């Protein structure tokens, strides 16, 4: 698929069929994630791949905006130990966001649907997911990406708005 087509087709998909995502597809998604840019190439990310039904069910309690039923969730975490030092340590958020967008775009390319559900900087949802994953404070859950075979098809669209573009020069 052309990059432009994937960019326009990428929409948040929140309803999925029961068909599981194949292991090979999960690996493709993770390769895409880790191809992303990161400040000083620190790659301060960790990915938790959840296919366990009961954990997926528990994830729904993390936030009232992330109660999707999917066969797969990838939780993207920032690893503070791999991040740059202060005052630029929070570049990890941008690094993990680039990795997340790569997952969303590769999902489209593979015929899958996905939605980015934000956690960080919401303290309670972060803590909830940290507890579920059994990880310490060195890892900050940034989002839950639910992924699956789409049971809804939001249309492709272009949100281009020339008023938001400022040419200097
Ligand atoms: C940082 C971030 C947090 C988001 N959190 C949620 C969320 O908690 N639940 C949800 O259903 N969608 C969430 N979304 C998806 C947005 O609602 C969605 O991207 C936006 O409405 C535009 O629609 P589109 O993705 O179809 O282009 C989030 C997106 C981003 C980038």
Where are the chain's structural domains?
A: 3-153
Dump pLDDT digits (tens) for 107-128: 999 999 999 999 999 999 999 9
Among 43, 42, 12, 4, smallest CA distance to 107 is for 12
Please state, in angstroms and as integers, the Cα–Cα distance from residue 104 to each residue in 31, 57, 137, 168, following that order: 12, 22, 26, 32
Is 91 a residue whose pLDDT tops 90? yes
Question: 127 is written with which tokens?
Answer: 């803590």
- Averaged over 55-64, what is the pLDDT? 95
117 CA distance to ligand 1 middle (Å): 6
- Residue owning the nearest CA to atom 2 of ligand 1: 118
Residue 139: predicted pLDDT: 97
The reply to whether ligand 1 has any atom less than 6 angstroms from the CB of 119 is no
Is 1 a residue whose pLDDT tops 90? no
CATH of 3-153, one of 3.40.109.10, 3.30.1330.10, 3.30.43.10, 3.40.50.1820: 3.40.109.10
Is 68 a residue whose pLDDT tops 90? yes
Nearest-atom number in ligand 1 for the CA of 159 is 27
The reply to whether ligand 1 has any atom less than 6 angstroms from the CB of 68 is no
34 — pLDDT class (breaks 50, 70, 90): very high
């Amino acid at each position: 698929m052309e990059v432009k087509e994937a960019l326009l087709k990428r929409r948040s998909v929140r309803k999925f069929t029961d068909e599981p995502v194949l292991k090979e597809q999960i690996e493709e998604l993770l390769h895409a994630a880790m191809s992303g840019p990161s400040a000083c190439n620190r790659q301060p990310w960790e990915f938790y791949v959840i296919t366990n039904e009961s954990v997926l069910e528990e994830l729904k309690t993390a936030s009232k905006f992330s109660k999707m039923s999917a066969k797969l969730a990838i939780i993207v975490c920032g690893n503070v130990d791999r991040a740059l030092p202060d005052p630029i340590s929070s570049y990890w958020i941008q690094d993990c966001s680039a990795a997340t967008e790569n997952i969303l775009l590769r999902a489209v390319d593979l015929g899958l649907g996905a939605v980015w559900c934000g956690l960080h900087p919401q303290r309670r949802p972060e803590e909830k997911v940290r507890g579920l994953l059994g990880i310490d404070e060195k890892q900050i859950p940034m989002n839950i990406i639910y992924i699956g075979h789409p049971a809804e098809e939001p249309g492709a669209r272009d949100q281009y708005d020339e008023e938001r573009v400022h040419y200097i020069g």
